Structure 1
Amino acid sequence: MNDFGHRTGAALVLGASGGLGRAIARMLLDRGSDVALTYHRAAHRLEPVLKTAAELGRTARTWQLDLTDAPLTATVVDRVAAELDGIHTLVYAAGPHVPMVHLSRVAPADLADQLLSDTAGFFAAAHAALPHLRAARGSIVAVTSAATARYPVRDGLSATPKAAVESLIRAIAAEEGRFGVRANSVGPGMTLDGMAERLIGAGDLDEHALDVARGNIPLRRFGDAEDIAEAVCFLASDRADFISGQKLDVDGGYGV
């Protein structure tokens, strides 16, 4: 499948060093796109993606980025466009580690930090990318959460900023469609890559919690990073060229 081989420029994947980000980047490469990859601290996690790019004869470059630094974010976005001949797709797959805790135990300052690093971080990148996406008649795909449709207890610190990102996606779709720019989001359910992997490692999810979570999913299983990447790459491709302002939950039926 060569969905992106005809596109000028690259796909910019924010948060590419995470489990979901890496899978999305590899699939974009496999489907004909050059990629620009950002990471916060874990540059070494991108080595398999760079290897994939070399094997496929595609271009992949990396940039360190703290999305809470809006001026730096704008600089990186413009450098990506200058060095890779434009940006045809912006994928937001970033997000800080968020502990699972009841909202009654969340300090207002902690919620403000999450909104800054997640929602404001997304907006800083999208705002900087819009001129390039207009030129390419490109698209934005934000990886959010299935929890914005069906709320799991103790997930408010994650679901709240993701819901705000989804609202921004709809606003961008409504306002930027006149320039040929599309914007959509993908809501991962429970996967054993990405955030769930971090929660298990941090001890926030034990075997009992995993069993309960599995029982809440009609398909009675968890997804994986490739499931999410498939949805992202579809929405970014011309196969979805009349889809904008929508959210596709990839959750095994959890939101039903």
Structure 2
Amino acid sequence: MSSSPSPDFSTGTALVIGGSGGIGRVICRRLAEAGSDVVLTYRRNEATAEEVAAQIRSLKRRTAVEALNTEDEAETKKCVDQVANEFGGLHTLVYASGPDLPMMHISRTPPQQFRDYLLQDAAGFFNLVHAAIPHLRASQGSIVALHTAGLRRYPAKDILSVAPKAAVEAIIRGVAREEGRYGVRANGVGIGGVEAGMHWRLRESGHYNAAALEILQRNRALPYAGRAEDVAEAVLYLASSSAARYVTGQTINTDGGYAL
């Protein structure tokens, strides 16, 4: 395995939360192709996570696979500390995770269900950031979090995604402001109309029916859908300490112009 770091990254590894997902696995591969070691986490899909790790090893980069429930503060801190210690530091935290969710109007969303999704997504992300900050200060590293273009243009029946991701974006902006003095950067990628991961599960469940897909297409500036690779390229740019060295607190909407 190669141990020489890429000029795009400081020493250590990238940690991709949700690296077994439809978008997360492509992010892992692109980071490895760019010369970074990559550790990925999964919640349930261990087999896919191991397949991603095998791809990373084939690119001559170091890797590891970790099961992680980010709602557990102690478990999250232990995982982040262990990864940083074993890989000689942490240069990038990528948050590519989020629970599967139904699409419902606010009036039909049970309050307990709303609280559950806030805990899984927003509080889980906070646990990660809190654990990662000391390591990112040491490496002058960065955080890149995937959220949603729905923060700029609200899609009906999407409150269980938009509200928790609004908190994720607020945390990103807070870290950018507070940790910039240590050389830490924090940015987001707003996803919209990307045919990967949750998109296909929503289609299979019927939440994305023909009418919903037609509305999405009509509201997009570009005449084609996004791919996981489009998101991965945005993440790679924001993670790079050379290309994006002066970029922090920002969101790149990878949405085909949906938010316009």
Q: TM-score category by the smaller chain?
A: over 0.9
User: 2 CA distance for matches of 1:179 and 1:6?
Assistant: 16
- Alignment deviations for residues 173-197 of structure 1 (CA, whole Å, 9 cap, x no partner): 0000000000000001111102212
- Alignment deviations for residues 3-55 of structure 1 (CA, whole Å, 9 cap, x no partner): 55653110000011111111111100000000110000101112332222122
Give yes or no for contact 1:4–1:33 (8 Å, CA) kept in 2: no
Q: Corresponding residue for 2:38?
A: 35
- Alignment deviations for residues 111-153 of structure 1 (CA, whole Å, 9 cap, x no partner): 1111100000001001000000000000000000000110010
Give yes or no for contact 2:8–2:240 (8 Å, CA) kept in 1: no
Give yes or no for contact 1:4–1:31 (8 Å, CA) kept in 2: no
Give yes or no for contact 2:193–2:226 (8 Å, CA) kept in 1: yes
Computed over aligned residues only, the root mean square deviation of the Cα atoms, in angstroms, reads 1.2
Superposed displacement of residue 94, structure 1:
0.5
Report the TM-score when normalising by structure 2.
0.95
Q: Which runs of 4+ in 1 moved over 3 A?
A: 2-6
Superposed displacement of residue 56, structure 1:
1.2
Q: Are residue 92 (structure 1) and residue 95 (structure 2) matched?
A: yes
Unaligned stretches of 5+ residues in structure 1: none
Superposed displacement of residue 108, structure 1:
1.1
Unaligned stretches of 5+ residues in structure 2: none
Give yes or no for contact 2:9–2:240 (8 Å, CA) kept in 1: no
Report the TM-score when normalising by structure 1.
0.97
- From 236, 242, 246, the counterpart of 2:246: 242
> Letter of the aligned partner of 1:82 in structure 2?
N
User: 2 CA distance for matches of 1:218 and 1:93?
Assistant: 25
Give yes or no for contact 2:11–2:88 (8 Å, CA) kept in 1: yes
Q: Corresponding residue for 1:55?
A: 58
3-state SS of paired residue (1:209): helix
Q: Corresponding residue for 1:182?
A: 185
1:134-153 alignment to 2 at 5 Å?
134-153=137-156
Q: Are residue 224 (structure 1) and residue 227 (structure 2) matched?
A: yes
User: 1 CA distance for matches of 2:9 and 2:232?
Assistant: 20
Give yes or no for contact 1:119–1:164 (8 Å, CA) kept in 2: yes
> Letter of the aligned partner of 2:170 in structure 1?
S
